[in-house]
Amino acid sequence: MNSRSDISLTHHLNESAKSARETQPARNSSDIELDKLACDFSPFIFHQKHKLFSIALVNRLPYRKPGHIDIANPQDAAWIGAFRYTKKSIFIQSPTLNASPAINGIIIACKRRTMVTLWLSLGFNNLTVGFETLQDGTNEHVVKKTL
C-alpha cells in the first residue's frame, strides 16, 4: 500500500495548496486524471448497519449571567430529560461541561447504572472558567467530582 503522500488526490491537494492564489490542478494533468481525482474524493465514511438510537441536538440563545439558574429552556430540558430517562447510555462531547444541573444528572444516571461517556477538552478555558466565575470549575474538576 502506498503512503498517504503518494495517493493522487492527496498529492493534488498538496500541490494546489502551495499557493493561496493558485488552486488549479497541475498543468500536465490529463482529463482522465482529473476525472479520477473527482471520483476518488468522498467526504463520507459509511458505517455498518446498527440498531436505531435516539439522538437530540438542541441549541439555545446565550445566557450571559453567570451561574446555572436558567434551566427553563429547550436545551436544558433535553439534557435533564436525557439524564432522567435514558436506560442504556449517554454520550456527551463538549468543550466545557460545568453546569451543576448537568453534573448532578450525570451522577444520578450513573447511580442507575446508565453508562455515561464524556468527551471533554482537557485544559480548555482553564484560565477563564472556574469557581470565581460561578461556573462550577473546569472539566478536570467536573470529572473528579463525578468519580
Placement of cell 488526490 in the chain: 9
Distance CA 77, CA 105 (A): 12
Distance CA 37, CA 127 (A): 45
CB neighbour burial string for 52-73, b if at least 16 within 10 angstroms, e if fewer = eeeeeeeeeeeeeeeebeeeee
Q: How confident is the model at residue 8 (pLDDT cuts 50, 70, 90)?
A: low
Q: Where are the domains of the chain?
A: 4-40, 74-146
Q: How confident is the model at residue 2 (pLDDT cuts 50, 70, 90)?
A: very low
pTM for this entry: 0.56
pLDDT of amino acid 124: 66
Q: Which residues contact 114 (CB under 8 A, 6 or more apart)?
A: 86, 87, 88, 89, 90
What are the pLDDT digits (tens) for 79-125? 888 889 998 999 888 887 877 888 889 999 999 999 999 888 877 66
Residue 94 CA neighbour count, 13 Å, CB half: 17
pLDDT of amino acid 109: 93
Distance CA 131, CA 126 (A): 11
